[in-house]
Every structure is written in C-alpha cells, then in structure tokens.
Amino acid sequence: MLQSEFAFIDGLRARAARETRQNAELRHGIGDDAAVLRAAANCETLITVDLLVEDVDFKLEYTPPRWLGHKALAVSLSDIAAMGGRPRFSLLSLGIPRACGTGFWEEFFDGYFALAAEHGVTLIGGDTSSAPGGLAIDSIQLGECRQGAAVLRSGAKAGDEIYITGSIGASAAGLRLLLGGKRVRESEDDLTQQALRKHLRPEARVEFGWRIGEEQLAHAMIDVSDGLARDLAHICAESGVSAEIDASSVPISPEVSLVETDAEKAFELAVRGGEDFELLFTATGAKAKELVKIAGETGVVVTRIGEVIERSDSALRLRRDGKSIPFASRGFDHFAG
C-alpha cells in the first residue's frame, strides 16, 4: 500500500529535480498543470508513447521492479532512436494497484532514473491513479531532431541495402525461458541470465539512432519491437517496396540456442520474436563506410541482411541456397489470441 497520491508525487518531484540535469528548453517541469518547454531553434519535436500493462506486457511475478523502470523508459527511447532523434523529456502515467507499495516504486525509479541520467532525459510530468486491475505504465517521450531530419518508415528505395544493429531472438528466447519457469539471479551471468535480461531489461540504440539521423545515413528506419519480419514489412508497406532477406546473414543471438536447437526453428524464432529493440534500416551501399564509422564510435555491430527490391506480390522474400522464395511477414500481434 502506498502513501497518499500527493506524497507520492512530491517524492517523485524531489527525485526528478535531484537526478536529472537542468536544460535550457525546460522552463517548468513537475508541479503545475502542464510542463512548459521552449522549442529549440531549427529543431523538430518527436513525441511517442508506449503502454505497458501488467500480465499482458510484463508479469510482476518474475520482473525485478528496477528492470521494469528501466524498460518503461527504454522502449520509448528506442522509438525516438528509430526516428533518428535525440531523447529529451519524459512523462509517466501510472495506474497503481495496491500490491505496488513504496519499496516497489523506490526500485522502479532507481532503474528509470539511472537510464534517464545516462541519456540526459528529464522527467517533466505525468499522471497518477489507482488501478485495481493491475499495474499500468504509460511512458511518453519527447525527442528532437534537426528540421527535416526525422527518418521515416516510408523512405526505403529499391536497391537500398538493409541493415540491422546487434542480433535478434534473445528477447524471445528469454521470454520462453521465463514462461518455462527460469528466474532472474542477478549474481549470475550465464547465457540463460543474459537471455532473461535482454527480455526484461532491454537496451535501446539511443546514440546510434541519433547519429544516423544527424548524418542522414538512412532512407528508412524502425525499431524491432514486433519481430524483424513484421517490422521490415512495415517499412515495405510504408515505402511501397518489397525486401529480400539473405537468410544466412541474419544475426541470430546466441541465446536462441537455449530454446531451439533445430536451425530452422531457431531462425523462425529470431525473425518473428519481438522486443529486440534493435534498429532496422535501409541505406544506399555508398554510405557503408560512414555507417561502419558510426557503428564503431557508438559500440554497435551493424550487419547487412538483405536488399530492398521493387514491390512484388509478397512484401518479403527470403534468399537461401541461391533461391528466392516468398516469406510471410507474420510477427507479434497483441490481438492474435
């Protein structure tokens, strides 16, 4: 059970003031009816929101509160990164059940503010209510980019190379392990624990996404939240193109081997499992050198996984053993039973 709503907000306000740095665009944060921001010259504002619902998007039973606080912010940072922008301000609306008391929120905000500080993000407001049906977290993020520099899903062109950061499948493997009864042990760091962490405490490619936007290196970009196949199909639909994935070059996370030993099943889990929060983007081959440079500077591995092609009846094709065949774009879907 929590102290009063007002004590909760006062505590949060004090913590936000303490743990986030001042910045020129913020005229007034938490404490009034609305926050007041001054728009930076020659910049555009990016706004995104993510809703996390208990027992749908996470389970308290196996989620350390600190990691949930981290994830609530990370998923929104990932959306800003996928636009090629830089995150600036965050708002949090919380629907709080009785089971989440003061200790829970201390830990939740340890995770939240640690990530916020890492990326210079300031908490400027939110809303708080009770939620008898379970915890709900609505994470709103404001970011910025230079005028006209936002990287949309709609800019992919036939002939572009398709790239992805990091590797995919670890989060889906982690979820499967959790559902099978594996639990977090923070003192251990084997492959199983790494899989659980990738699912429960994902890292967003904040700096890489922003640099890609700043230097205008990508034609289209998206973060992989619904699975590589589904998210690549989103780019294709918005851009009016198709994509051919080169099966052998897809970087599958080593964690996938914990839950799938069959190579075909491992590939399917990797390309259809969601919540990797890697960045998937298209760019002309001519930019490859600059991409490698930014990847090196931001400590990110980038892999070319295919090519954008003229639109055909299948959004996705898969190239394997010299043959190209239609490939379903199925992925994660909240309403799919």
Strand 161-165 with 302-309, pairing: antiparallel
Q: Supply 111's token pair.
A: 């995770």
Q: Does position 92 bind ligand ADP by CB under 6 A?
A: yes
Measured in Å, how far apart are the chain's first and last C-alpha atoms?
Answer: 33
Q: Which is nearer to ligand ADP, 50 or 307 (CB)?
A: 50
CA distance 191 to 257: 10
List the one residue from 9, 51, 131, 288 that touches ligand ADP (CB under 6 A). 9
Contact between 118 and Mg ion by CB under 5 A: the answer reads no
- Contact window for Mg ion (CB under 5 A) among 33-41, 53-61, 119-127, 265-273: 119-127
Smallest distance, Mg ion to C-beta of residue 127, A: 4
127 near ligand ADP (CB under 6 A): yes
Binding flags for ligand ADP, 192-231, as an x/- string (CB under 6 A): ----------------------------------------
- State the DSSP string of 77-145: HHHHHHTT-EEEEEEEEEEE-TT--HHHHHHHHHHHHHHHHHTT-EEEEEEEEE-TT--EEEEEEEEEE
How far apart are CB 316 and Mg ion at their closest, in Å? 44
CB of 32 or CB of 321, closer to ligand ADP: 32
Token reading at 117: 């500080």
Residue with Cβ nearer ligand ADP (90 or 314): 90
127 binds Mg ion (CB under 5 A): yes
When CB distances are held under 5 to 8 angstroms depending on the partner's kind, the choice from Mg ion, ligand ADP, none that residue 94 binds is ligand ADP
Q: Is 5 in the site for Mg ion (CB under 5 A)?
A: no
- Minimum Å gap between C-beta 1 and ligand ADP is 17
CB of 93 to Mg ion, least distance (A): 9
Complex with ligand ADP: residue 17 or 288, whichever CB lies closer: 17
- Least separation in angstroms between CB 15 and ligand ADP: 10
Of 51, 278, 264, 260, give the one whose Cα is nearest residue 173. Answer: 260
241 binds ligand ADP (CB under 6 A): no
Alpha-carbon distance 246 to 47, whole Å? 34
Q: Of the listed pieces 31-39, 123-131, 137-145, 158-166, which binds Mg ion according to CB under 5 A?
A: 123-131
Distances (CA, A) of 35 to 91, 95, 144, 269: 10, 20, 17, 43
**Are the CB atoms for 204 and 165 separated by under 8 Å?**
no
CA–CA distance, 57 with 138 (Å, rounded to integer): 12
Q: What are 304's strand-pairing partners?
A: 163
**Choosing among ligand ADP, Mg ion, none, which partner's interface includes residue 213 (Cβ < 5 to 8 Å by kind)?**
none
Q: Hey, what amino acid is at 173?
A: A
Comparing CA positions, the residue from 209, 202, 223 lying closest to residue 73 is 202
Residue with Cβ nearer ligand ADP (12 or 177) = 12
What string of DSSP letters covers 195-245?
HHHHHHSPPP-HHHHHHHHHTT--SEEEE-SS-HHHHHHHHHHHHT-EEEE
Distance in Å, CB of 65 to ligand ADP, minimum: 15
| Residue 125 near ligand ADP by CB under 6 A | yes
Query: Using CB under 6 A as the criterion, which residues of the chain lie in contact with ligand ADP when the complex forms?
Result: 9, 12, 30-33, 92, 94, 123, 125-128
> Residues in the site for Mg ion, rule: CB under 5 A?
127
